Structure 1
Amino acid sequence: MDNLVLQCGCGQIKGRAIKINPADRTRVICYCKDCQAFAHALKASAQVLDEQGGTDIYQLPPARLQINQGLEQIRCLRLSEKGLYRWYAGCCNTPIGNTLSPRVPMIGLIHSFIFDPEREAKLGPVRACVNLRGATGQIPKSRLDAAPASGYIGKIMLKILGWKLGGLGRPNPLFSAKGEPLASPRILRPGETV
């Protein structure tokens, strides 16, 4: 297992993801409209989205995420009152990741926050392409064949259950012990930017 170097674009936020193993098989490309809206709101679509509007995400339990510098720079957006918590660097608008809630032990780290020169080897290949209906272009068949979405949701739900039972939901650097978000979420209106 390896550690993964994390850093925002300007270097004010630094951290690491610990105990990373390609065998975890939790790397996905998400093509949903909400992930696209998040990238556009931060004016980071060129750095985040692929040619078809996909976001490369590595899913891990919160206990494996450590922020060592710049915690005060972390901000949060939600696209609706009940939407995902979408975390970013307030200093430079680098997308950091997504969380469902403080009770769900999973963080989806966005590749723009992964600053490790050995990222590809440490994370392994993309295991699933999800939310395909939101794609803005034709996804190459070779990518879909290599990373089919079928069965992935069940697999990640089992992982989340294992993380919960294994106590990997805490500590969560993005939420307090009482479940309060580190930064008060701003509800983003359609088309609004940061």
Structure 2
Amino acid sequence: MTMTLPLKCRCGAVRGEMQPRRAYTRATCYCKDCRAYARFLGDPGVLDEAGGTDVVPTAPATVRLTAGVEHVACMSLSPKGALRWYAGCCRTPLGNTSRNTRLPYLGLVTACLDATPQELAATFGPARRCVINTGSATTPVRATPMAFVGGGLGILVGMLAARVRGERGSPFFNDDGTLLREPEVISREQRRELERAG
């Protein structure tokens, strides 16, 4: 039997599960885009003290939504940017995907996983094991070059394996490859305000 980890938004309307053994790695991203996304949601609790977001890169097929699909919403910071999915009911971040349905990548935000920090560490490794975009952190963050290389290789190998296995399916795309929801694309002015905030 495959072990799964429960997923739920803060209010409990959106629920699901993921297969943690198939996660590519665990990373903390300090890029301005992830920070703007968290501020768009109005949820500063997503960011760590240096402005980083804890994510678990995985194949979209490893995640399944079991309730509240009607509450799932999408936004993008630009017309061609990544798709950033969240629970519209309480604005809990869910994850980031490419607009290309053939790319087996989902950056699952750990804030939506129903697990304690200790459980997350036991399952995926410690937070900040692999840090990326540290130059954009709001306070100094020590780079992890070896973990960065290892994490990058883990993502590439995992994506290649998912392609070879012919994995299909994503909780954020319909069976015909269309988006579950059309994204709200924010304006450049809104994006600048979000980048200035905090």
Give me the TM-score of the superposition, normalised by structure 2.
0.86
User: Is the 1:4–1:119 contact (alpha carbons within 8 Å) kept by the matching residues of 2?
Assistant: no
Q: How does 1:85-124 map to 2 (within 5 A)?
A: 85-101=83-99, 102-117=101-116, 118-124=119-125
Output the amino acid matched with 1:138.
P
**For 1:32-60, what per-residue CA distance to the aligned partner results, in whole angstroms no more than 9, with x for missing partners?**
10000000001012x11001111000111
TM-score by length of 1: 0.87
* Contact map agreement 2:24 2:155 (CA 8 A) in 1: no
Q: Which structure 2 segments of 5+ residues have no match? A: none
Q: Is the 8 A contact 1:2 1:122 kept in 2?
A: no
CA offsets 1:8-37 (integer angstroms, 9 cap, x no match): 00000000002x22x855100001100000
- For structure 1, the 5+ residue unaligned runs are none
User: Which residue identity lines up with residue 160 of structure 1 in the other structure?
Assistant: M
Return the offset for 1:80: 0.5
Supply the RMSD in Å over aligned alpha carbons. 1.9
Match of residue 140, structure 2, among 134, 138, 151: 138
Distance (whole Å) between structure 2 residues aligned to residue 185 and residue 61 of structure 1: 21
User: Corresponding residue for 1:129?
Assistant: 131
Do the aligned residues in 2 keep the contact of 1:52 with 1:136 (CA within 8 Å)? yes
Q: Percent of aligned positions with the same letter in both sequences?
A: 37
Matching residue of 1:9: 10
Matched residue, 1:77? 75
CA contact (8 A) 1:84 1:99 kept: yes
Higher helix fraction (1 or 2): 2
Contact residue 131 and residue 144 of structure 2 kept, 8 A: no
Q: How far apart, CA to CA, are the structure 2 residues paired with 1:145 and 1:164?
A: 28
Match for 1:60 among 53, 58, 61?
58
Count residues with an aligned counterpart. 185
Residues in 1 aligned to 2:147 and 2:124: alpha-carbon distance in whole angstroms = 17
